[in-house]
């Protein structure tokens, strides 16, 4: 997947199947997620195609510490010398280079879960705004898929029009070998609250960590075919639909475990 404008100063710079978002500011940029280890040079190339310098990234934040969203961060950190920030559990996973032991997917072999560890990760609090110059992002902790799962929100503007953007972390109930959500009522409660919290967010444009979950490809194609006066397909308040689908997925997982 090529880079794409989202709205205002926000751009999709990820790969086919894995999201990474660039937010451009006057004193440096913010990058959300780093994809796979091999995604780092693709993200770099996508940023440069947009006319920006990857070296101007000052802050890298993470959705959750799984290899498919975190493995490229170490290389991007070395290249940019950016600060990396994550939730407490997310920071531990990034620092260790592997899922935390309480992660529902920790049962997969370490060789599958491991990724290059990240140095000097800044631990953040739920709701604590992270700023770079004139831009900022707000972490919304949404645990359940992973203990450190974090959704990110911010505003982007075009002229006088400003929209609420959401980078939605995975809120799917995916269990690794030997893990049953049914055995962890506290995690089920966390995931239900995370799903509810996502659905309640101010949300004009949403992109999920896996772009297919919010139909990014189709939206890009529809936007390219837009005529004057057409509604922007990106602006669909899609957080509620994403949350509803996640709740169905959780119920299906619990029913499967019950059988």
230 catalytic, yes or no? no
Considering the candidates 11, 69, 181, 204, report the single residue annotated as catalytic. Answer: 69
Considering the candidates 66, 103, 167, 204, report the single residue annotated as catalytic. Answer: 66
Considering the candidates 96, 102, 108, 210, report the single residue annotated as catalytic. Answer: 210
167 catalytic, yes or no? no
69 catalytic, yes or no? yes
Considering the candidates 11, 29, 44, 64, report the single residue annotated as catalytic. Answer: 64
Buried b (16+ CB within 10 A) or exposed e, 72-95: bbbbbbeebebbbbbbebbbbbbb
Label each residue of the chain as H, E or C.
CCCEEEECCEEECCECCECCEEECCECEEEEECCCCHHHHHHHHHHHHHCCCCHHHEEEEECCCCCHHHHCCHHHHHHHHCCEEEECHHHHHHHHHCCCCCCCCCCCCCHHHHCCCCCCCEEECCCCCCEEECCEEEEEEECCCCCCCCEEEEEEEEECCEEEEEEEECCCCCCCCCCCCHHHCHHHHHHHHHHHHHHHHCCCCEEEECCHHHHCHHHHHHHHHCCCCCCCCCCCCCCHHHHHHHHHHHHHHHHHHHHC
10 Å CB burial of residue 99 (0-12, 13-18, 19+) is: buried
184 catalytic, yes or no? no
29 catalytic, yes or no? no
145 catalytic, yes or no? yes
Considering the candidates 33, 145, 167, 169, report the single residue annotated as catalytic. Answer: 145
56 catalytic, yes or no? no
Q: Catalytic residues, which ones?
A: 64, 66, 68-69, 145, 179, 210
């Amino acid at each position: 997947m090529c880079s794409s404008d989202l709205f205002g100063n926000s751009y999709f710079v990820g790969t086919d199947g894995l999201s990474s978002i660039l937010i451009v500011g006057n004193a440096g940029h913010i990058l959300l997620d780093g994809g796979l280890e091999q995604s780092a040079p693709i993200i770099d190339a996508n940023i440069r195609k947009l006319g920006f310098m990857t070296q101007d990234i000052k802050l890298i934040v993470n959705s959750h510490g799984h290899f498919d969203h975190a493995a490229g961060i170490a290389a991007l950190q070395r290249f940019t010398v950016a600060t990396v920030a994550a939730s407490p559990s997310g920071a531990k996973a990034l620092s260790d280079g592997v899922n935390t032991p309480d992660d529902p997917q920790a049962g997969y072999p370490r060789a599958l879960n491991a990724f290059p560890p990240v140095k000097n990760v800044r631990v953040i609090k739920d709701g604590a705004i992270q700023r770079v110059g004139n831009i900022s992002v707000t972490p919304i902790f949404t645990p359940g898929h992973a203990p450190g799962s974090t959704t990110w929100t911010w505003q982007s503007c075009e002229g006088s029009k400003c929209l609420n953007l959401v980078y939605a972390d995975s809120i799917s109930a995916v269990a690794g070998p030997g893990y049953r959500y049914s055995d962890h009522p506290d995690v089920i409660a966390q995931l239900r609250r995370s799903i509810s919290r996502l659905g309640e967010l101010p949300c004009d444009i949403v992109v999920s960590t896996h772009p297919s979950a919010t139909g990014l490809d189709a939206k890009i194609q529809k936007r390219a075919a837009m005529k004057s006066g057409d509604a922007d397909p990106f602006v669909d308040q899609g957080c509620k639909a994403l949350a509803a689908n996640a709740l169905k997925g959780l119920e299906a997982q619990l029913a499967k475990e019950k059988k």
